[in-house]
Structure 1
């Protein structure tokens, strides 16, 4: 199977902003227009939390419910595995191996959330990818709160869609 050693470095854009700032909506639009792959840190964490037998499921659930930050090693591993899985699928679809493997382009939504997240990313993942820039969405706090509450009413299933 493939490792990072024989795959091209993917390009990464970090997409940041408060909960309800529109990160997911804008990422969807960017993906449609420019072909990026959207990786939501929150979605990856929720998926892991709901995976039967996950050693981190309850820990992740507790952090999400309390609005605290999941340990950076867990989040980085989930993001790295998702990127690597996509890059492997690109390599597998390249045919006999004599065609170049397409470089993946990723939007990483909701990460890093603080300096510790950034430090962990730099230790664990940074040398395997090309970080291009950060796209930051500014949105008034009240608008973010209202969007999260509406999203919760619409059945988002997200434990953090509350005041």
Structure 2
């Protein structure tokens, strides 16, 4: 089963390259519509594992977990990957080179999918969490403030919802809940 999923990940990597080329061409012609496809989000996440581990670095305990069953969703694979990387980067930045980050994709009992990224960082108070999705809003020097807004845009594009669960001193969890594709 793992070999089959790795084969699917390789196929999806090729499709991701095709999608990126198509999006760049569309952008060059002034048509930047999303390229939604029905894909297995779990396979996409598995295909990103080595890049996410490199992003986290050696000081961060990174856990990546996907569902054991297929996780079909209507999404743009390039935008999905960008959102996962942005959420993971935010979590890695929050733990400041040490601590834990968990990236999970799970099937929900009511039929949807939930992608969540949880960190053991300092967390956010309600006022900060309320502003965190604003483009260019950041609390870090030198940061662009686009990570959560990028993930929020992905959620909206995929007919999903982004939520932030955080308490100061207890880390943060950012979740994107998506409808399961037929």
Shorter-normalised TM-score: what interval? under 0.3
The one of the two structures with greater contact order (alpha-carbon pairs below 8 A, sep at least 6) is: 1
- Of Structure 1 and Structure 2, the greater strand share is in 2
- Of Structure 1 and Structure 2, the greater helix share is in 1
TM-score, normalized by length of structure 2? 0.25
